[in-house]
């Protein structure tokens, strides 16, 4: 049975949900689950959670925990990455420094200054993991869950070239939403989703031969639904297709919605009309950071509830793809997912070397992308504004070229809509200095350059 390794297993909610999926999959129920994290306390919590699920279900799976990454990777069949370099301390700088300059990020983990700096912190570790996989587990598949998804995956392909798939839940979550609003059982729906992670579009949405898009568009403008996803619906009205990311998060990737604090608080947030839609979903600045801090404080209570059995184990698998991919590869029973993979002509009007999110077939041969062809021209044009930033971010991470960091941030659609070039330069300098402990190469390079030109 396979060895399944988690790097960053201290992300307890994710680890609990994914290991639950694995333990609910017959083909994986005798697996060895290896948990690795640098935080020994959280690692032990994760191990205890997984062991309690194994014991309650009476399974033959094994769980082991280690802080030794090489030991965790050695002999693995699947390596799942779910870490956040610098944790919430670094993430606070990602949000709070740009906010002082007027860049209003809601999540800041995909594009914008926050996403760019998260990539600069994450890519070196991902590449180290890939090199260790080449040495210690050459046939293993990397299942990457680390954001920002596109730069991280693009860097792996450009620098290492080993097999991987980047995983998200946007495509399956969005199509489930569309089915609910359309009043159609999800099991009867077929769809085509393509683009890049967090900026992919539902190109087809059908039941049999019937096009469900007209039905969905009509439902989306009903009061019951519009206030839940106002920005996504506006984008659909103007561009013709529904995007896979939620309204608050979507608002960061385009220059239309977040030009200043007043706009966010007085124009964007009031469009959300329903109780229960929180600060994150309303697009409030720093909404996801606040949610993450609250979740951190609640982890111990949740941990104790699961260990004691007060909260019951799941009885069904989540919509996440990871366990289904492993099952398809172990049983050679094909499935189709939406995965983040090298483009190589899958979307013909996006750069050939970028990373795209497209339908992929998974079986005993691994993950194989399918060919989508051209996206509608307006969608490809919008996506390319994000790809430009991602390309320069990868360049910065691989070359340690400080100038490429300035270039990436200056081309970010939201930042460019708000700041002048000198302001962008000053903001990047402040973020690099604040994050020096996680980005020492950029700081040292600047000082070396200063000495050389003095």
Residues acting as catalytic residues: 169
- H-helix segments, 167-320: 170-182, 213-220, 223-226, 230-239, 247-250, 261-262, 287-308
**Which residue in this structure is represented by tokens 């919590």?**
45
Whether the Cβ atoms of residue 122 and residue 85 lie closer than 8 Å to each other? yes
Residue 157 and residue 340: Cα distance in Å, rounded? 11
Sign of CA dihedral 328, 332, 337, 341: positive
Residue 430: CA atoms inside 13 Å, Cβ hemisphere, count? Answer: 17
Return the ∠ at Cα 343 (arms to 337 and 345), rounded to 5°. 110
Whether the Cβ atoms of residue 181 and residue 220 lie closer than 8 Å to each other? yes
Residue 148 and residue 138: Cα distance in Å, rounded? 25
Return the ∠ at Cα 285 (arms to 283 and 290), rounded to 5°. 100
Q: How many CB atoms lie within 10 A of CB 271?
A: 17
3-state secondary structure at position 425: helix
Residue 172 and residue 13: Cα distance in Å, rounded? 19
Q: Which residues pair with 306 in a beta bridge?
A: none
> Of 318, 364, 333, 391, which Cα lies nearest the Cα of 145?
318
355-363 and 3-7: which strand pairing? Answer: unpaired
Residue 48 and residue 349: Cα distance in Å, rounded? 48
Stated as kind and residue range, the H or E segment containing 120 is: helix 112-136
Stated as kind and residue range, the H or E segment containing 348 is: none
**Which residue in this structure is represented by tokens 């990455």?**
81
**Which residue in this structure is represented by tokens 């960053």?**
8
| Burial class, 89, CB count within 10 angstroms (exposed 0-12 / middle 13-18 / buried 19+) | exposed
Instruction: Report residue 59: phi and psi, to 5°.
Output: -100, 165
In DSSP notation, 59-88 reads ---EEEEES-HHHHHTT-SEEEE---TTHH
Residue 44 and residue 47: Cα distance in Å, rounded? 5
């Amino acid at each position: 049975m396979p060895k399944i390794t988690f790097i960053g297993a201290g992300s307890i909610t994710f680890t609990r949900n994914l290991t639950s999926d694995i333990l609910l999959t017959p083909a994986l129920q005798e697996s060895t689950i290896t948990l690795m994290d640098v935080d020994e306390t959280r690692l032990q919590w994760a191990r205890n959670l997984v062991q309690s699920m194994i014991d309650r279900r009476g399974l033959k799976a094994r769980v082991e925990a280690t802080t030794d990454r090489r030991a965790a990777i050695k002999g693995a069949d699947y390596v799942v990455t779910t870490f956040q370099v610098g944790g919430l301390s670094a993430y606070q700088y990602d949000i709070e420094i740009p906010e002082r300059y007027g860049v209003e990020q809601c999540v800041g983990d995909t594009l914008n200054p926050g996403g760019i700096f998260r990539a600069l912190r994450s890519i070196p570790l991902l590449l180290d993991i890939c090199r260790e996989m080449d040495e210690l587990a050459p046939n293993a598949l990397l299942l990457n869950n680390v954001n920002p998804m596109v730069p991280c995956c693009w860097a792996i392909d450009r620098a290492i070239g080993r097999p991987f798939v980047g995983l998200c839940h946007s495509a399956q979550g969005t199509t489930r939403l569309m089915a609910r609003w359309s009043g159609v059982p999800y099991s009867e729906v077929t769809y085509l989703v393509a683009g890049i992670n967090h900026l992919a579009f539902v190109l087809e949405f059908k039941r049999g031969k019937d096009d469900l898009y007209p039905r969905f568009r009509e439902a989306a403008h009903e009061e019951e639904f519009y206030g839940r996803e106002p920005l996504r619906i506006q984008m659909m009205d103007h561009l013709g297709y529904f995007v896979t990311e939620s309204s608050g998060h979507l608002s960061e990737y385009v220059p239309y919605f977040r030009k200043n604090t007043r706009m966010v608080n007085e124009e964007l947030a009031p469009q959300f009309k329903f109780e229960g839609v929180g600060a994150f979903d309303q697009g409030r600045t720093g909404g996801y950071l606040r949610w993450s801090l609250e979740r951190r404080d609640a982890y111990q209570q949740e941990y104790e509830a699961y260990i004691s059995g007060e909260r019951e184990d799941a009885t069904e698998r989540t919509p996440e793809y990871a366990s289904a991919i492993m099952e398809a590869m172990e049983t050679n029973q094909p499935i189709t997912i939406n995965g983040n993979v090298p483009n190589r002509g899958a979307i013909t009007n996006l750069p050939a070397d970028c990373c795209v999110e497209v339908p992929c077939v998974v079986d005993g041969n691994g993950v194989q992308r399918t060919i989508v062809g051209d996206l509608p021209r307006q969608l490809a044009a919008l996506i390319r504004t994000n790809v430009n930033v991602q390309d320069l971010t990868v360049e910065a991470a691989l070359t340690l070229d400080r100038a490429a960091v300035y270039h990436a941030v200056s081309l970010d659609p939201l930042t460019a809509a708000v700041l002048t070039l000198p302001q962008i330069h000053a903001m990047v300098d402040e973020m690099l200095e604040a994050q020096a402990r996680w980005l020492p190469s950029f700081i040292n390079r600047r000082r070396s350059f200063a000495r050389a030109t003095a």
